[in-house]
Amino acid sequence: MPTNPFSPAFGSEPAYLAGREAIVADFLEGLAGGVGDPNRSTILIGPRGSGKTALINHIATAASAQGWVSARVTALPGMLEAVIEQALEAGEHLLPAPAGAKLTGLGAFGVTVNMDRPEARSASWRSQVARIVDALGELGSGLLITVDEVDAKQAELVRLVADYQHFVSEGRAVALLMAGLPGKVLQMFTHRSISFVRRAFQHRLDPLSQADARLALRVPIESAGRSIEPKALDAAAAFSRGFPFLIQMVGYQTWRQHPGREVISAQDAADGIRASQESMDAMILDTTVQELSKGDLEFLTAMKDDPDFSTIADLAARLRISPSSAGQRRIRLIKAGVIEEYGRGQVRFTLPLLREYLQRAE
């Protein structure tokens, strides 16, 4: 029996990455394009489960295939050191290491990662990375740094971004690909020391089209040796609303109804959809809603019957609250990744199935 090709676990690489071709092409074009190409500094912005981590990994792998060395980190304490370690490790085959030198020890390729003295290490991070980048640059390669889960509260991220700007202005062979939740990216844009990151290219990871959602479901099924009835495929794709996390979830649940049969039926899809709905409630929606204050939940509930978006003025009137208090609730809910701005004074749901969840809760 073939194994289930879907992977609803967060951060896992999908069997088929759908609908992100243009973003991948832009970034790779930037790497090929030369120093100063604006595509080399890119930020991916999207809510939970929109596919940020999967896309970072996909692009980094593609960059490696073009001869770039990539250092992949998450914005957490220790990330600066991790960049150096990863660059040395990934570039091992390119960088001439003195005989017997350990990568994380002293003196790999004249670069010191001194574990004992963090102060000394942080002072020389920029020059250490510059040396690695230059060595790679001479070989026609370069260093791609990827940072997932950006957070301007992480001092090391601020430091990295500030130093990266120097590398670019010095004409070095570097690229930076970052990803984060909308609220976190916004905080980074307004951070005093690095507000220039606003000039990086920004890609919003919007939901995939229905055609791409169908591909993301059909290709892994067929590659694994089964097939799916057109009606089943349409129903599963429609249920996913193009959200990558839901595509993987509904694919996974639909597949496992009768894994021994060759064709996935409309009944399998209906049962898979029901199971996905339950997982979504238990894994995401219940906790999201429980974490909200009473007032914020009221605000959200007042949005549930507006067709596409809600205007803040309407919501304030409906709830009989002042515009400024409506504005504060709006900011808190955007930061929580539950809703997003949609034009001036308007908001809409970002979390898939949240609207339906609130409608059911009545």
Ligand X SMILES: Nc1ncnc2c1ncn2[C@@H]1O[C@H](COP(=O)(O)OP(=O)(O)OP(=O)(O)O)[C@@H](O)[C@H]1O
Residues that bind Mg ion (CB under 5 A): 52-53
Q: Which residue type occupies 65?
A: A
Chain CA centroid to CA 222, Å:
27
Q: Which of 4, 5, 14, 27 binds ligand X (CB under 6 A)?
A: 14
Of 211 and 313, which CB lies nearer to ligand X in the complex structure? 211
Residues 224, 3 contacting (CB under 8 angstroms): yes
Pick what 240 binds: ligand X, Mg ion, none; C-beta below 5 to 8 Å, kind-dependent: none
Q: Is 30 in the site for ligand X (CB under 6 A)?
A: no
Pick what 17 binds: Mg ion, ligand X, none; C-beta below 5 to 8 Å, kind-dependent: ligand X
In this structure, are strands 263-264 and 41-45 parallel, antiparallel, or unpaired? unpaired
Q: Please tell me the distance from the alpha carbon of residue 19 to that of residue 15, in angstroms, as a whole number.
A: 13
Q: Please tell me the distance from the alpha carbon of residue 329 to that of residue 318, in angstroms, as a whole number.
A: 14
Pick what 7 binds: ligand X, Mg ion, none; C-beta below 5 to 8 Å, kind-dependent: ligand X
Q: Is 20 in the site for ligand X (CB under 6 A)?
A: yes
Strand partners, 177: 42, 146
Pick what 216 binds: Mg ion, ligand X, none; C-beta below 5 to 8 Å, kind-dependent: ligand X
Reduced to 3 states, what is the DSSP secondary structure of residue 209?
Answer: coil
Of 177 and 358, which CB lies nearer to Mg ion in the complex structure? 177
Least spacing, CB of residue 359 vs Mg ion, in Å: 28
Q: Which of 2, 12, 104, 138 binds ligand X (CB under 6 A)?
A: 12
Burial 107-122 (b: 16+ CB within 10 A, else e): ebbebebeeeeeeebe
Q: Which of 4, 43, 52, 164 binds ligand X (CB under 6 A)?
A: 52
Segment 196 to 235, residues that bind ligand X, using CB under 6 A: 216
Q: Please tell me the distance from the alpha carbon of residue 348 to that of residue 340, in angstroms, as a whole number.
A: 6
Least spacing, CB of residue 47 vs ligand X, in Å: 7
End-to-end CA distance of the chain: 43
Cβ neighbours of residue 32 under 8 Å, at least 6 residues apart?
66
Strand partners, 70: 144
Tokens 């500094």 correspond to what residue?
Answer: 41
Least spacing, CB of residue 45 vs Mg ion, in Å: 12
Pick what 20 binds: ligand X, Mg ion, none; C-beta below 5 to 8 Å, kind-dependent: ligand X
Least spacing, CB of residue 194 vs ligand X, in Å: 21
What 8-state DSSP symbol labels residue 253? H
Pick what 142 binds: Mg ion, ligand X, none; C-beta below 5 to 8 Å, kind-dependent: none
Q: Which residue type occupies 77?
A: P
Of 8 and 91, which CB lies nearer to ligand X in the complex structure? 8
Cβ neighbours of residue 35 under 8 Å, at least 6 residues apart?
168, 171, 172, 173
Of 52 and 184, which CB lies nearer to Mg ion in the complex structure? 52
Strand partners, 145: 71, 176
Reduced to 3 states, what is the DSSP secondary structure of residue 76?
Answer: coil
Least spacing, CB of residue 54 vs Mg ion, in Å: 8
Of 68 and 243, which CB lies nearer to ligand X in the complex structure? 243
Least spacing, CB of residue 181 vs ligand X, in Å: 6
Which residues contact ligand X by CB under 6 A?
Answer: 7-12, 14, 17-20, 46, 48-54, 216, 244-245, 247-248
